[in-house]
């Protein structure tokens, strides 16, 4: 006999959405040092979707969008707006999930691919002609983050580093370090 006052599907207190935001510094250059080294202080918003989750584990598809002002020369006023938009698959353990009430620390490990555009620069080539190149590329990414805090609603602070390289030549790379707040989803 079926008991009508009980739900047939267990109700979860966990949300499918994931959100973190913060500030970061993105640095990018050429692998063989043939061009300038760009840097971009930026703000970041990372929406995501939890694919699998438990209290202290989550598999999350994220899109960490960073927008900021980039430059490659400390001595001139050159700067432009830059954007970094990867799509990442992240394994969040412990406090990095935003679900945990008990765990004070956690880690995030992820991989993905994305697009980076930090601007253009002009250089003098071998035939004394000015050429323009851009610091933009599609490439793969890896990330590692460490979260800490013990807020009962699941909010956590996270420090994260990212590394990536371009798929094709000329080989370019990017490195990001950031400080973020993970929005908890405890109800």
**pLDDT tens-digit readout, 65-103:** 999 998 886 555 667 889 999 999 999 988 888 776 666
In the Cβ-directed half-sphere of 39, how many Cα atoms lie within 13 Å? 6
Q: What is the CATH number of domain 17-182?
A: 2.40.160.20
In the Cβ-directed half-sphere of 58, how many Cα atoms lie within 13 Å? 27
pLDDT of residue 101: 65
pLDDT of residue 100: 66
Domain ranges of the chain: 17-182
Phi, then psi, of 95 in degrees rounded to 5:
-65, -20
C-alpha torsion 107→181→103→99, nearest 10 = -100
Cβ atoms of 167 and 16 within 8 Å: the answer is no
For the chain, which residues score pLDDT lower than 50? 1-12, 187
Distance of CA 44 to the CA centre of its chain: 8
**SS3 at position 96:** helix
Helix (H) / strand (E) containing 107: strand 105-124
pLDDT of residue 2: 41
Whole-structure pTM over 0.85, yes or no? Answer: no
């Amino acid at each position: 006999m079926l008991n009508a006052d009980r739900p047939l599907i267990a109700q979860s207190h966990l949300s499918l959405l994931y959100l973190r935001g913060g500030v970061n510094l993105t640095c990018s250059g050429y692998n063989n040092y043939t061009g300038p080294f760009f840097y971009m202080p930026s703000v970041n918003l990372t929406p995501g979707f939890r694919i699998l989750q438990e209290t202290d584990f989550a598999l999350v598809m994220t899109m960490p969008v960073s927008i900021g002002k980039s430059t490659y020369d400390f001595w001139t006023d050159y700067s432009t707006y830059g954007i970094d938009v990867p799509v990442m698959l992240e394994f969040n353990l412990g406090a990095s999930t935003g679900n945990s009430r008990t765990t004070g620390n956690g880690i995030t490990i992820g991989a993905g691919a994305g697009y980076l555009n930090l601007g253009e620069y002009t250089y003098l080539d071998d035939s004394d002609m000015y050429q323009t190149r851009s610091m933009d590329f599609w490439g793969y990414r890896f990330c590692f983050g460490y979260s800490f805090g013990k807020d009962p609603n699941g909010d956590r602070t996270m420090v994260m580093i990212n590394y990536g390289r371009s798929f094709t030549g000329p080989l370019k790379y990017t490195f990001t370090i950031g400080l973020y707040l993970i929005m908890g989803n405890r109800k």
